[in-house]
Structure 1
Amino acid sequence: MQGRTISINNFADLLGVSRATVDIWIRSGKYPVHTLSDGKRYFYLDDVKTAPEVAAMLSTKWNDEIDVTPSCNFTSAELFAGGGGLALGMEKAGFHHVLLNEFDHSACETLRRNRPNWNVIEGDVHDIDFTPFRDKIDFLSGGFPCQAFSYAGKRLGFEETRGTLFFELARAVKEIQPKVFMGENVRGLFEHDNGRTLQTIKDVIAELGYTLIEPRVLRAIQYDVPQKRERLILIAIRNDIAPHVDFKWPDVCTSVRTLRDAFFAGELFNTDVPMSEGQKYPESKYKVMQLVPEGGDWRNLPEEVARDYMKGSYNLGGGKTGMARRLAMDEPSLTLTCAPAQKQTERCHPKETRPLTVREYARIQTFPDDWQFCGNLTAQYKQIGNAVPVNLAWAIGRSLIRLFNDIAKLGLISKDINISSTRHYTKLHGIFEGIVCAKKAEYLSSSQK
């Protein structure tokens, strides 16, 4: 009996190489290819298991890791929480959120609407005093933006990164002293500013008294997400704990998920994707996109149509494969952006000539259908497009829970801390620098003074 199969395109996506590269391998005889009656070609996984990504899929302990549960109540806090993708995944893994901070009002409304019990602090992270939470939060996370630091020819420490949002995450670590913290970012952080940005981050983490696990880029399609999204994950363990525990990255899932898994009932979702609102194409763009076949892009357009549609971009270098791009139903989605109909990063429905709807966007990010997004249509797309895919966050969360279970065995998890009595304080600036005040002012009557 023949084993499991994978399409040529999905094999290329799994390995992170181009379809042209796979075609070269096929012509050279590196991998035997098979053809269906409709002309579609595929590999048997056993025939391509020399590829490390396939070998990992065939030997994975993914199904065992699904059953990882917390041995006690592990508390967490998250900065830059957005629409809740990371927070929801961590909650599914077993973390109890004590604090979530987000600046965007619509995103905060989303968090409050879906989880009224979460302590959502809306506002600028610069204004939050984290010291009341010192030693009361086990795990801290945050998806800080990738920003350059001002070097002036010198190596930077914690204080020199002031003014960046990474500094605010580092300040939260310094004030809270969590046992473990995690930062997530785009994979471009590896090369940002010729590697100096990441090196500065590593230096600051060491200065704070934490041991950094070697950073790793995780690819969402390997973690039950129907999307070719990549995130750089940094995990650091406090120095007094690090020598006594080992962190193990999550194993990969058993297959590559596609838009068909996202949009129709199956292993990923129990029902077809529900109807929802979405952006519309103007008539002129609709006529252009009608000409693009499933899985195609501007290169499938007649030359005169492509020139007119792309304007100056037509003569620029690069593949420009995001332009006039129609997705394919039996492949993962391209990385979602803040809007589905931007000219450089088009995300057209594979079968219908329209942008993806809000619920289709959310499913590609593996949000459950009952997770409702607040704000106008633009705000909803932005929250979804900026999110960490829920299933990717869940997989990372399970690995972290396994780590915390080991930490708990060392007797380092406090079980009697009353988080509910911890008040949120706001920092003051200007002439009041260094003073903090309660989130809600309380005044004493003359009889109480």
Structure 2
Amino acid sequence: MQKIRFVDLFSGIGGIRLAFEQAADSLNIESECVFSSEINSDARLVYEKNFSETPSGDIRLIDKLPEHEFLLAGFPCQSFSHAGKKEGFGDTRGTLFFEITRLIDTYKPQAFIFENVRGLYSHDGGQTLATIKHEIQKRGYSFDAFLLNSANFGLPQNRVRVYLVGILNASPTFELISDVGPKDSHSYNTQQLSLFYPPKKSVTVGDILENNPDEKYDCSPEFVNALKRIFNNDLNRLHGVRLIDYRGGNSIHSWDLGLRGECSPEEIELMNRFILKRRNKQFGKEQDGKLLTQEQIASFFEHPNLGETLNSLVNKKYLKLINNKYKPLSGNFSFEVYKFVDPNKISVTLVASDANRLGVYYNQRVRRLTPQEAARLQGFPDSFMLHANDDKAYYQMGNSVSINVVKAVAQEVIIKTLYSTQERIDKSQFALAQFFK
């Protein structure tokens, strides 16, 4: 059996490694990880549990890489993410990409696979990606960037990530097709975005749910009763609902639930209008965050006791009064669940900050998704050992990769690399034969 060696940088809990090993195995190729690196102690612990080796620590302390054919790296994404400050290479975490190029210079592999957040693709008007491309190409590699949605690879999650791939001294044509999918998870239609993952039965959240998880994942009786009151005991209406205080649409707000005190119908109506109307340009140019005076509020909410209603909402801490202007007090992190996924659809993107607050109504229970279900959304097999602490397991899954996607990418890169390597060998042998004629 043919054997390939790889290096696993910024390895996290080992998602990219797991997917790469699965890809090699599917191609009947033996693989060996010759070096791994991860600075986070909790991730290193899980990596060791699953791969029986502890990654090296800080990449900045690594002098050189051992001989290998493939370089894998899920380098830090915070500085490129919409959830971060988007400072890119002006951020210390962003410059860690240059640690990768420094190590590439110590031993050039035949190919690389990098994974990052979608924001990298367009960050700084494309200049960040252009810088990465330049650094890679000047070292003799091809460079392709693909935006791939996990839902197109047999996973019920609307998750878009960018995958950067390249092969040394080659100009491959990959079969992968970029597609970010829809804006929301309720209108998704799966497509064929890789020859290795042809269209098949649509996978939904219901396919990854546990039938009878521990009761500790159930939402509190108080929270459930408030939801029942809002939906007249029809909890099937929870599917796809968000719990958020600064958006309208299919959302539930803290004032609907009465989390800080029961609200009258008038108070609820005022708050619902407030979060919609405060975006109007007539109240300022800011897209969001506008503070409104009582007179401005009266323009869209006529009520004989408007002042008393506003005071009541301030006292209950649904509104805040700043220089005689009113502002909603966001209570998003006080919700037990921030989004209820629909068992018949796909999930929203699993993210580290609130992977522990995705909810579902299933088998007559209102509960949070379990860490095991979060792992399944990412394509991890049930045999993969998660962190013993639930909160850390949720966080790690939100930070990890979608196994199915990386596997598909790795399959193509391995095949194209081996083909280009063999092609170079054949050309070299032909040239030698011609020389000695």
Alpha-carbon separation, structure 2, partners of 1:339 and 1:274: 26
What residue identity is the alignment partner of 1:110?
V
Q: Please say if residues 341 and 348 of structure 1, whose CA atoms lie closer than 8 Å, have aligned partners that are also in contact.
A: no
Match of 1:296 in 2: 241
Q: Please say if residues 306 and 314 of structure 1, whose CA atoms lie closer than 8 Å, have aligned partners that are also in contact.
A: no
Match of 1:328 in 2: 342
**Cα deviation per residue 1:78-128 (whole Å; 9 max; x = unaligned)?**
111112221111111114222221111121121111121xx5323111111
Q: Please say if residues 216 and 233 of structure 1, whose CA atoms lie closer than 8 Å, have aligned partners that are also in contact.
A: yes
Choose which of 180, 187, 209 in structure 1 pairs with 2:118. 187
Match of 2:37 in 1: 101
SS at match of 1:333: coil
* Structure 2 residue 157 is the aligned partner of structure 1 residue 212: no
The alpha-carbon deviation at position 246 of structure 1 amounts to 4.0
Alpha-carbon separation, structure 1, partners of 2:110 and 2:104: 9
Alpha-carbon separation, structure 2, partners of 1:276 and 1:129: 46
Match of 1:84 in 2: 14
What residue identity is the alignment partner of 2:64?
F
Q: Please say if residues 278 and 355 of structure 1, whose CA atoms lie closer than 8 Å, have aligned partners that are also in contact.
A: no
Show the 5 A alignment for 1:244-259. 245-249=172-176, 250-251=194-195, 252-255=197-200, 256-259=202-205
Between structure 1 and structure 2, the one with the greater Rg is 2
Show the 5 A alignment for 1:32-431. 72-94=2-24, 95-116=31-52, 119-131=53-65, 133=66, 136-146=67-77, 147=79, 148-149=87-88, 164-213=95-144, 215-239=145-169, 242-243=170-171, 245-249=172-176, 250-251=194-195, 252-255=197-200, 256-263=202-209, 275=213, 281=219, 285-289=223-227, 291=230, 293-298=238-243, 299-301=250-252, 304-305=255-256, 314=275, 324-338=338-352, 340=354, 346-351=357-362, 352-410=365-423
Q: Please say if residues 227 and 257 of structure 2, whose CA atoms lie closer than 8 Å, have aligned partners that are also in contact.
A: no
Q: Please say if residues 89 and 394 of structure 1, whose CA atoms lie closer than 8 Å, have aligned partners that are also in contact.
A: yes
Report how many residues are paired.
315
The alpha-carbon deviation at position 280 of structure 1 amounts to 5.9
What residue identity is the alignment partner of 2:383?
D
Alpha-carbon separation, structure 2, partners of 1:281 and 1:221: 27
Alpha-carbon separation, structure 2, partners of 1:212 and 1:225: 27
Distance 1:289 1:407, change over 3 A: farther
The alpha-carbon deviation at position 76 of structure 1 amounts to 0.9
Distance 1:356 1:98, change over 3 A: same
Match of 2:28 in 1: none
Q: TM-score, normalised by structure 1?
A: 0.62
Alpha-carbon separation, structure 2, partners of 1:314 and 1:307: 17
The alpha-carbon deviation at position 278 of structure 1 amounts to 6.2
What residue identity is the alignment partner of 1:305?
D
**Cα deviation per residue 1:363-404 (whole Å; 9 max; x = unaligned)?**
111111111112522211111111111111211121122223
The alpha-carbon deviation at position 406 of structure 1 amounts to 0.9
Distance 1:349 1:111, change over 3 A: same
The alpha-carbon deviation at position 258 of structure 1 amounts to 0.7
The alpha-carbon deviation at position 304 of structure 1 amounts to 3.8
Alpha-carbon separation, structure 1, partners of 2:216 and 2:73: 29
Show the 5 A alignment for 1:432-447. none
Alpha-carbon separation, structure 2, partners of 1:212 and 1:305: 51
What residue identity is the alignment partner of 2:358?
R
Comparing 174-183 with 304-313, greater Cα deviation is found at 304-313
What residue identity is the alignment partner of 1:180?
A
Alpha-carbon separation, structure 2, partners of 1:164 and 1:227: 30
SS at match of 1:208: coil
Q: Please say if residues 204 and 343 of structure 2, whose CA atoms lie closer than 8 Å, have aligned partners that are also in contact.
A: yes
**Cα deviation per residue 1:279-332 (whole Å; 9 max; x = unaligned)?**
564565444555562222343548941686799995675999998421100111
The alpha-carbon deviation at position 412 of structure 1 amounts to 5.9
Q: Identity percentage over the alignment?
A: 28
Q: Please say if residues 101 and 123 of structure 1, whose CA atoms lie closer than 8 Å, have aligned partners that are also in contact.
A: yes
**Cα deviation per residue 1:8-45 (whole Å; 9 max; x = unaligned)?**
xxxxxxxxxxxxxxxxxxxxxxxxxxxxxxxxxxxxxx
| 5+ long unaligned stretches in structure 1 | 1-70, 152-159, 264-271, 414-449
The alpha-carbon deviation at position 247 of structure 1 amounts to 3.5
The alpha-carbon deviation at position 405 of structure 1 amounts to 3.1
**Cα deviation per residue 1:235-289 (whole Å; 9 max; x = unaligned)?**
12112xx04x5433233431331112222xxxxxxxx668468656456544455
Alpha-carbon separation, structure 2, partners of 1:341 and 1:285: 19
What residue identity is the alignment partner of 1:87?
R
Q: Please say if residues 361 and 381 of structure 1, whose CA atoms lie closer than 8 Å, have aligned partners that are also in contact.
A: yes
Alpha-carbon separation, structure 1, partners of 2:392 and 2:355: 14
